[in-house]
Chains A and B, each alone.
Chain A
Amino acid sequence: MSSDAGGRVEPVVDASGVQLKTGLWRDSLGYVGPMQPGSGPRSNPLGWFPTGPEIGEMLPSISGASFDGTTVDVHLDREAGPAVVSFLRSAVW
């Protein structure tokens, strides 16, 4: 990670990898994909990166439209039960 002029910590990109052939790269852990490590969807952080609210904190409220048009409110809809909330990059690519 690095710090900017105001002392704010910023993540650093992991651009390590090997080009296997035109349009195909392998990163340091062995994942092979069509984009160069360190670019676009392969902008992996090297070391520290922000992961949002911490363990022990209340999850911030989340509400919005689900795929079927219904309104979802995580804390209301879990009905006082445990829940898993996942942020993924994309369902399309």
Chain B
Amino acid sequence: MITYDEPDALASFADEFGITYPLLSDPDSIIIERFGILNTLVDPDDHPWYGIPFPGSYVLDSDGVIVAKFFEAELTLRANADQLLRAALGEPISIEPTPQIEEPTEVTVEATYDGEQLLPVVLRDLVVTLRVPEGQHLYGDPVPAGMVATSVALDADVPVVQRDAQFPPTREHRLSGTGEVLHVYDGDVHVRVPITYLSSEFFNDDGVDVATIRGTVTWQSCDDHVCHLPASHRFEIELPVGKHNLPEFVRGEGSTRMDFNKHFQQMTARRTGG
């Protein structure tokens, strides 16, 4: 992790939270600027804020090549650790499929949440799984004219911050008659929609609340001989809403070894010459 904080501030932070991975101090934002992610929307005289990056994460493969990036225009939003690890290790999602007693003849849909609570700031995935019977396939983009691509859409009034649905890679399916190449899904198709919340309206002084997430899944399935009419499925899941995931001392409760205010004053003084 890299920040523009002073080294001693990062040492205190590591001690406070038991961090053992490297925390690099970039107090003059040299690395930040070299990466081209200096937040130039902050006025250079606006201390101590000037020097911060547009925050985000790079995921590297074993060769040091970037395989994924997580950056958000809403600077408070974060990718969760599972998303980063999944991108780093190249593993598919770990949600276990529901055991099937008989082989289904129609597409079935299940909506789940990759977590225990809907928490603020940190994005976690709503996972919609479409189970496609053997011999059938669904369409991904680009979809042939007249056909319907697979899609997942949350209701407009769902009170969460959401990001674009993430689809797995399609496979090429070549029609034997025309030779046209289609981009299809088959088997279990997992579609991920990153969600979180930021509105304080979720906060409940009495404890956690419950958020109802509703949406529609749309698809069109075909086999080698016939295409079915487009179909859709409405889903609704209830998620317990975590009040927040801030440490107690940030909420004004409990105590801390790290003197945040001292470090804040120091970083401000260094930048203003005070």
| Partner-B contacts on A (CB < 8 A) | 10-14, 26-27, 29-33, 39-47, 49-60, 62, 64-70, 72, 74-75, 77-78, 80-93
Contact = CB atoms under 8 A, between A and B. Distances in A.
Given A43-B41, A65-B25, A92 B13 contact: yes
Given A45-B54, A68-B14, A81-B62, A87 B32 contact: yes
A50 B36 contact: yes
B37 A50 contact: yes
Nearest to A89: B52
By secondary structure, the A interface counts as: loop
Contact of A52 (B19, B37, B46): B37
Contacts of B13: 67, 91-92
A89 B53 CA distance: 6
Given A45-B41, A58-B65, A64 B31 contact: yes
Contacts of A69: 7
Given A64-B26, A78-B60, A82-B60, A87 B201 contact: no
A88 B55 contact: yes
Contact of A84 (B32, B39, B58): B58
A59 B66 contact: yes
Nearest to A54: B66
In the complex, the 3 A-B pairs of residues with the closest C-beta atoms, listed nearest first: A30-B199, A43-B41, A31-B198
B65 A40 contact: no
Interface in B155-191: 161
A85 B14 contact: no
15 contacts: A11-B41, A29-B161, A29-B198, A43-B42, A53-B66, A58-B64, A59-B65, A60-B34, A67-B11, A68-B14, A82-B88, A82-B89, A84-B58, A88-B53, A92-B9
Given A11-B40, A62-B24, 9 more contacts: A30-B200, A52-B69, A58-B64, A60-B34, A67-B23, A80-B63, A83-B88, A87-B54, A88-B2
Contacts of B53: 87-89
Contacts of B199: 26, 29-32
Given A43-B39, A66-B24, A67-B25, A90 B4 contact: yes
A67 B19 CA distance: 10
Contact of B35 (A52, A67, A81): A52
B61 interface: yes
By secondary structure, the B interface counts as: mixed
B3 A89 contact: yes
Interface residues of B, number: 66
B197 to A, nearest CB: 7
Given A43-B39, A89-B52, A91-B13, A52 B260 contact: no
A30 B197 contact: yes
A44 to B, nearest CB: 5
Interface stretch (B73-81, B141-149, B215-223): B73-81
A82 B34 contact: no
Nearest to B8: A67
A26 B200 contact: yes
A53 B58 contact: yes
B44 interface: no
Given A53-B66, A59-B60, A66-B24, A90 B198 contact: no
A46 B24 CA distance: 28
